[in-house]
Structure 1
Amino acid sequence: MLNINMLSTADKVKGQGVGSAYLELISMLKKHFPNEFNIEINKHGKSQITHYHTINLSYYFSTFLSKRGRKIGYVHFLPETLEGSLKLPKLVKWIFYKYVIAFYKRMDHIVVVNPTFIPKLEKYGISKNDITYIPNFVSKKEFYPLSDEKKADIRKNMGFNRDDFIVVGTGQVQTRKGVLDFAKLAQSNPDVQFIWAGGFSFGKITDGYKQLKLLVDNPPKNLHFPGIVDRNVIFKYYNIADLFLLPSYNELFPMSVLEAFSCGTPVMLRHLDLYKKIIEGYYVPFDNFDEMDAQLKELKNNHNKLEALSDKSLKASEYYSEEHLASIWYDFYISQAKEG
């Protein structure tokens, strides 16, 4: 039995996709490989593989200890991808960005959730041979389509009408997430109901906090901010949505998109390079606000196109399902153990 020690604090802060990805992986490994892998969480001592999910300073120091086995780093972000998320003093930012790369360089092997990270990590001096791309995934037991009757009941309980056109966005309330565009879209479409499920996971150091906090406290009448909600509630929002919309300017590999796919929710996204590489053809793309507004208006009046998008979402979810990724993770851990 292969001993794998998971080091993570990803689930300590609510509303983070990193936490969702971590919990999905732990659940999947314990479910599919109970006799092949011995999964330990934040343990000290000997291990064949130590998988670092977050970049805590104490974890960095632990990389210098013996008996850690093969050190695997999970890369969910790079310094440049943090722009628009956190507002830090220049010196603090410089030091933190240097630390992020120093942490990654302490690893024996890197796993990226975003294939566009690979050439960027190479520029930081990490060999391509030491990097593996494994996408995020979601469990179909947690995220799946509900019947029309159940969706209608949830809408009623949440205060929405059965025939309301509902657009849902999820994630932290940050500048890079395009929340201000989401609000502007709500103002331009008063006949549509908008919901942004998420909050300020990092409080006042969130980039653009003052402006975003003012919006959350005083939104347009048709824009709702329920705050940070549990996964079982997020699941309901995906299901009552006629459209899932993520207007982010910069993304990693958002779990929210995979969760929406798994629920069969039509998806519309800003046409980022990341999406072009991994999910192009499964969503409605836009490049600017006018295109986003035009696409929304067209979809609202085109039921057939929405149904076709729903089918595409379910098709995409098959590739990013737990079952498909389980075998990939198994092969990866076995190969890394042989390298140790």
Structure 2
Amino acid sequence: MFSSATKVKGQGVGSAYTELIRLLKKHFADKIQVAVNKCGKADISHYHTVDFKFFLYTFFPGQGKKIGYVHFLPETLEGSLKIPQPFKQIFFWYLIAFYKRMDSLVVVNPSFIKKLERYGISKEKITYIPNFVSKTEFYEFSKEKKFLLRKKYGIESTRFTIIGTGQIQERKGVFDFIELAKRLPQYQFIWVGGFSFGKITDGYAKLKKVVADPPKNLLFPGIVDREKMNDFYNLANVFLLPSFNELFPMSVLEAFSCGIPVVLRNLKLYQAIIEGYYLSGNSVAEFEACLEQLASRPQLLRRFHKESLEAAERYSEKHLASIWYDFYCEQTEMVGHDKKK
């Protein structure tokens, strides 16, 4: 495994990488030997980030099958980071060159297969494997524990609370989240996350001002350690991610796993993977309507609580463990090896 994703806190690539490492060690410790960031002989070299030194490693002998994890494409970086020209064009060229160096690519959303084909990458090289989260890490608390948790964080026990998570940047729809807090002062809003990439974050100056002086009903607790995120999901009645561009957000899966009703922007890429499990909107006004419906209609809240738990089961660790193991076996031409025993 090759990754530098955990060096930057508060971003989904690191979460997805951490979950996969933990899954392999938990379920396949006797079948798969995992080395992290060690360049040496291997059956498989799995690249999670596109560091230049990792690109150089791909030219070393004995690396086995080279697998690349596609967490982003040039178009998904628009609205996330401010990269001046000509550096943006150079980086985008390098990103695709990195992917083309791989023997196989893994995408977390099937909608990316056609996009990669447009960059000249064969469909046969691409496999769709969705993200997942562990039920032991993200789960729903009891009513009693939720009550104590709200008391701990100073949130009224009966106040309808909406949470959003992720990097604070324009692409995540944070400005819409802020506007909703202004329009709905009767509700509590919480955005967990920060400026993971500092001043090169798109919209940094404007967002920094709001974070420093937010509306009274909007909290910005900053970047929170992953092991504490379960607390914040359980503080909320609803999870809202008004992002304009995503792959398969880990935060959505984490919310599902905690049984929180989910509201998302109406993006086509979600339709391919989680259609039916969430409410959606295209504008601040539509998000406002969704939140007011959930707050005023207990039966709707219960329905999407159930939908979230069903979605969590579909993308559970148990289900994805066998998929990852079979995929790795295919890469080393050992399909069915254990089944024959």
- The answer to whether TM tops 0.5 is yes
Match of 1:102 among 93, 97, 103: 97
CA distance in 1, matches of 2:110, 2:203: 28
- With the length of structure 1 as denominator, give the TM-score of the two structures: 0.97
Correspondence for 1:283: 278
The yes-or-no answer on 1:245 pairing with 2:243 is no
Give deviations 1:181-202, integer Å, cap 9, x for gaps.
0000000000000000000000
Match of 1:128 among 123, 127, 138: 123
CA distance in 1, matches of 2:35, 2:145: 38
Number of corresponding residues: 334
Correspondence for 2:253: 258
CA distance in 1, matches of 2:88, 2:209: 25
Q: CA deviation at 1:114?
A: 1.3
Structure 2 counterpart of 1:97, one-letter code: F
Correspondence for 1:18: 13
Correspondence for 1:299: 294
Q: The residue matched to 1:42 in structure 2 has which SS?
A: coil
Correspondence for 1:191: 186
Correspondence for 2:161: 166
CA distance in 2, matches of 1:288, 1:16: 25
Structure 2 counterpart of 1:119, one-letter code: K
Structure 2 counterpart of 1:296, one-letter code: L
CA distance in 1, matches of 2:38, 2:281: 45
CA distance in 2, matches of 1:232, 1:45: 32
Q: The residue matched to 1:37 in structure 2 has which SS?
A: coil
CA distance in 2, matches of 1:55, 1:114: 19
The yes-or-no answer on 1:48 pairing with 2:46 is no
Q: CA deviation at 1:160?
A: 0.5
Judge which range, 194-203 or 281-290, deviates more: 281-290
Identity of aligned residues (%): 61
Structure 1 counterpart of 2:333, one-letter code: K
Correspondence for 1:3: none
Q: CA deviation at 1:273?
A: 0.9
- Partners of 2:192 and 2:221 within 8 A in 1: yes
Q: CA deviation at 1:232?
A: 2.5
Q: CA deviation at 1:83?
A: 0.5
- Partners of 2:293 and 2:300 within 8 A in 1: no
Give deviations 1:241-269, integer Å, cap 9, x for gaps.
10000000111110000000000011000
CA distance in 1, matches of 2:156, 2:139: 22
CA distance in 2, matches of 1:124, 1:308: 41
Unaligned runs of at least 5 residues, structure 2: 335-341
Unaligned runs of at least 5 residues, structure 1: 1-5
- With the length of structure 2 as denominator, give the TM-score of the two structures: 0.97
Q: CA deviation at 1:289?
A: 1.3
What RMSD over aligned residues (CA atoms) do the two structures have, in Å? 0.8
CA distance in 2, matches of 1:34, 1:62: 25
CA distance in 2, matches of 1:36, 1:216: 47
Give deviations 1:98-147, integer Å, cap 9, x for gaps.
00000000000000011111001001011000000000000000001100
Give deviations 1:147-206, integer Å, cap 9, x for gaps.
000001000000011101100000000100000000000000000000000000000000
The 5-angstrom pairing of residues 3-152 of structure 1 reads 6-152=1-147
Correspondence for 2:304: 309
Q: CA deviation at 1:290?
A: 1.0
Q: CA deviation at 1:233?
A: 2.1
Correspondence for 2:221: 226
Give deviations 1:23-50, integer Å, cap 9, x for gaps.
0000001110111100110112101100
CA distance in 2, matches of 1:26, 1:294: 40
Correspondence for 2:328: 333
Match of 1:155 among 150, 153, 163: 150
